Chains A and B, each alone.
Chain A
Amino acid sequence: MISVIQEIVSAGLLIAGTFLLLVAAIGIVRMPDIFLRMSAASKASSLGAGCVLLAVAVSAADIAITVRAVAGVLFLFLTAPVASHMIGRAAYMIGVPLWKGMVIDELKGHYDTRRHTLSGIDGASRRAQRGTGPLGEVRDAGR
Chain B
Amino acid sequence: MVQTIALWVVLPLLSIAVALPVIRLVRGPSLPDRVVALDVMGTIAIAIFATYALINRKPAFLDAALVVGLIGFIGTIAFAYYTERRI
Contacts and interface: CB of A to CB of B under 8 A. Distances in A.
B24 A72 contact: no
B81 to A, nearest CB: 8
Interface residues of A, number: 56
Contacts of B66: 68, 71-72, 75
B13 A59 contact: no
Interface string B19-49: 0110110000110110111011001101100
A52 B4 CA distance: 15
Contacts of B84: 89-90, 93-94, 116
A15 B10 contact: yes
Interface of B: 1-2, 5-6, 9-10, 13-14, 16-18, 20-21, 23-24, 29-30, 32-33, 35-37, 39-40, 43-44, 46-47, 50-51, 53-54, 57, 59, 62-63, 65-66, 69-70, 72-73, 76-77, 79-81, 83-84, 86-87
Interface stretch (A25-33, A99-107, A124-132): A25-33
Contact of B10 (A7, A18, A60): A18
Most B C-beta atoms less than 10 A away, residue of A15, A26, A52:
A52
Contacts of A135: none
Given A24-B40, A29-B21, A71-B66, A91 B47 contact: no
A25 B87 contact: no
